[in-house]
Structure 1
Amino acid sequence: MATIQLLFADEGNRAAMESIVEQRHTLVTDDQLRAADLYIVDEAIFPEYREGLETHKQAVEPIFCPVVLVRREQTAVSVDLQDMTDRDRPLLVDDVVRAPVRERALFRTLENLLARREQTERLIADLRERTAQLEAEHQKYQTLVEQSDNGIAVVQAGELVFVNERLTEILDRGAETLRNSPLERVLSEADSSLLERCREHRPESGESPTQHELTVRTPSGERKHIDLRSSRIEYEGEPASLLSFQDVTERKQRERELRQFKNAVEQAGHAIIVTDERGVIEYVNPAFEEITGYSAEEAVGLTPRILKSGEHGEELYSRLWETILDGRVWNTEIVNERKSGERFVALQTIAPIRDSDGDIDGFVGIQDEITDRRLREQQLEVFHRVLRHNLRNKGTVIMGNASMLAAELEDETARAQAETIQEHVQSLMDLSEKARHVRQVVTEAAEPQTDCDLGSFLKQTAGQFRSSYPDATLDLDIAPQADLTVDGRVRPALEELIENAVEHSDGPESRVVISLTTDQQKGIVTISDNGPGIPEQERRALEQGAERPLQHGSGLGLWLAYWLVHYVGGGIDIRVDGQGTSVSVELPLQ
């Protein structure tokens, strides 16, 4: 049922039309023009409503709004049929019925016109829905393009006609600079064949995008690695190329670092194991294969329990898992077993591997085989204990007998010889005690210690030696630098060198000068004395860092200093001239 407005001047004619139309439709009988689906206008009153009807029809376009004219014979007003036939302006009257109106013919006319109106309404509704969908699709794709992690460009006639913001970031150029730029300027390092493939041509059925790897250079000179994809499209009705720029510079850098890391792992002399979070082996390096006897194919998929020797209780492994599952690093010395059943000693470090969210994703283990080193340490320990025990016990016996012999001898020469025996035996016993002290200091030096303020330490040490050697002159020449801090493990080395200088300053007046300077990266301690100098064979042994059967030092003090200074990354330089000895110690500042 439609809404129809009747516009009649004569009330009798209006009433007659109302009686017919109201059978099927809703009527509007107001004299003022109202919104309706169709208008029935009496020819006599048409000129009065012409302008209003024309305005209304234009307002509702493109929806069809029909107007039916009722024509009468001998009417005082006649409507020009130009309102129906003029194509230069919108059609105003859509159909004409003649009075007296025949009911069946009228309804047929009305139904045809209303059907046309309904059809236009459906078409317009469909069109609006489709337009809204297209606008939504357009907005979606525009958002995708603008928010894309890739740079997007459209190329037509060899020039960039569209670029998104991401491309301006990748190429470090503004959008206005890039638009209408020749493709050759953007891809200046690409070869001609690639440029040709990136130019537009009409899309072909089934054609897939092409992919290229190339580098581009930004205005600042930075080179970036680009993964470029090119596909053929139509842009604003014309053939074009759609280019997608993916900046893979960081990925290339990571790949290079991973290759370097893999090469380092493959060439490492330590056994390296990577497991998942359950401890199942995922990777072993060649050193693991060599040390354990298990090939990678045999080890992957198993757990490190294949190396379990039985030397350690379950408590150790429980503490291991508790430590690494807590995200901490596990370090220990462990006895493992090779595939052959042979046991070996290893320093083992296990650390968690975390994913991007910080969760433990697996573990990496490093094993450094120290079997030979442990055996040597055990052998040296036994030799040291046996030799020191025998030297102390036998030396005490020899000293006692030599002392008794010297007391009973009357001959001066024989007594002097007995005293010489005592002196040399005492020297041997002192050397044994010195060796014990050196071993203790070197062992402690392997552990981190507190830092040492060089200036304060040298002043304190000089004061102690002045008290112990009142006849010697100790001068300090310390530059007024600020904080000169070094590794505290070097203290015994400096004490040994100062003591050596004081004891061997045998001129008419024993004099030692201790100076401290710096070159910003190192602290330099120089100890000068006026003694006879360090023997040449000892200097040569220290300079070469090793002793030979025919070239060795006579004492352990200088070796102690040499070892400790090198422990902390420093160096020693010894110079001897006619005025004495000068020892310079360079120490890295903390």
Structure 2
Amino acid sequence: MTDSPRTDPTAESDSPQIPVLVVVEDSADCRLLREWLAESDEFTPRVVGADDPAPFDAAFDVCLFDVDGLRGVAGALAAHRKSTSTYTPTLLFVPERYGDAETVLGRLGDAGDHVDDVIDAPIRRANLARRLRTLARARRFSTRLEQSRDRHQRLVRRLPDAVFVCADGRVTYANPAAASLLGVDPAAVRTAEFVDLVPEVDRDSVARALETAAAGGRSEPIETALHRTVIRNADGGTERAGPASSSPEPADAGTPEGTDVATDAAAGRPASTEADAVNDSVPEPLIDSPSEPASRIPVELTAIDGGSGDVQVVVHDLRQRREREERLALYRRAMDEATVGITIADHSTEEEGLIYANEEFKRLTGLGDDDLLGHNPRILQTDATNPGTVAQLRRAIDRGEEASVVLLNRRSDGRRWYSALDISPIRGADGDVTHYLGFQRDVTERVSHEQRLSVLDRVLRHNIRNRLNVVLGYADRAQRVAESADSTDDSLVVDLDDLRGALDRIREAATDILDLSDSARRFREDVGADGDDDPVDAGTVVVDVASALAAAAPDATVLVSTPDGPATVAGAGALSLVVDELVSNALEHVEDPTVHVSLSVAADEAVLRVADDGSGITPDSRAPLDSGAETPTEHGQGVGLWLVRWTVDAVGGTVGYEEGSDGGAVVIARIPIVNGDAAA
């Protein structure tokens, strides 16, 4: 029980004076002692008689008795000391008429057991004051210790983590959280062997942890499990079962409800009280360990030296953490297995590097964690990436806004691909953007389809229309010549040269239209449809196509070089179309050209270079090789380079443009080698 409000030591301990309870039956001695104490600035005397029914209800730090006063209140003093956990110091004054103090204590019997100090007559004030101060200090030290124990006990009781106190491996105390974790009343687990509470496979490691703590150390955390137990008595009947009490302020194990129990200051172990009789009556527990998974609670425990041979075991319930981990693992699996590329960038750093990239994003880019994490996604962009789109994305990020754009990126193998990027800001508790979540999808096929529609629209609207206009114009001209020939007017002269010129222009325009149609047909047959993809030697294809074109252009010089060994590619159609278009383009647009066609092997690619000595390809016409996009005001006249681009893309290669050292055009196409056959 706690001290009554009238004797609450907390209130008195802050006073500069020491309240002294004076129980002295001799009236002269009582008057003298009271006067001495009252004259001092240190003490406040409070006199009660031995026949007072409640002598110890007054607030005091030290009790001062004479022999008769002690005899009169001995029973009340014993009851008071037993009812409070706070130290009650006593000083016995022995007048000269009673003889020596030792003899007096012997005659007092059990009452003498409650005497802490004795002062003989004659009394000197300084000596009396020193004795009272010493006892008061001991009382106040005891009070502070008790307050510390009480705070420690309350903390242990209210801890969300389970706490067990063990002595020689047996549980001597379990806080309410521990009892609740086990599903039993706190008293039911006392005297159990702690290692019996964990699975057999972990008992050796737990026993070593207890030994480490008992030797004055601290064990490493151990992940194990606790059994939700059923405690049975020796006859096999159920002693405690089911969940423990969950009242807001549970009583301690084995303690009557509403009773505070002093605890060992180091370990939080209940001190000895009359409630121990209840605790000691708890039978030796027999612990059933049900096999159901719900009966095994995953925990992490740490054994700590509690002092005085005790070991304190702190047990943390891992169920919530495991559930969080499982949810996070589920989220991670969902993100990793998503069919869209997912990234998280750290917006709090200047680099804004990636801290996460899922498997689909790695597949899209061909890069791994080492290449991606810590780097800004801008590393994927190319020189041909639209700077306006990049600026739009940057503005959204700086404003903490969402954005959706399409970017031209490059894979690890150099191939370009179009990424539909959606980004969303992730904000912290303060509302500031801390990260950016990115979703990326490969829309290369969609963009390529849009490009083909755009080029087709341009061909239909511009190229074919222009040539048909030529056909119609010269057809009208030829019609007029023919009408002149049929006329009976002898004054009309038939201009046969004009007729021949008109027919030549008609033939040229028709040939251009047929060439466009043939190029489109070749792309569809050789690349667009499922055709012959049997492995062929790229060198043989290059030589055959270039030689045929050179034979048809006697005024041109076509130089061909190939590697010594084979460079095997998948099918001849794609490479044939690329060589044909690039060499034909040089032969058609350069007067008396010299065309260099070279094939080499670099790593796992066949590298085709077609260079001429002309004036190069204009920026609008080489859009397929650079940005891969046309604008309404900038577009090429032909479809050939687009066919080259689409063909190379279709077989997983790359194509680019360079200026030659002499100002001519150099087109470089890289096509993957199959079967690992490559010349050294």
Same fold (TM over 0.5): no
Higher RCO structure, 1 or 2 (CA under 8 Å, sep 6+): 2
TM-score range, shorter chain: 0.3 to 0.5
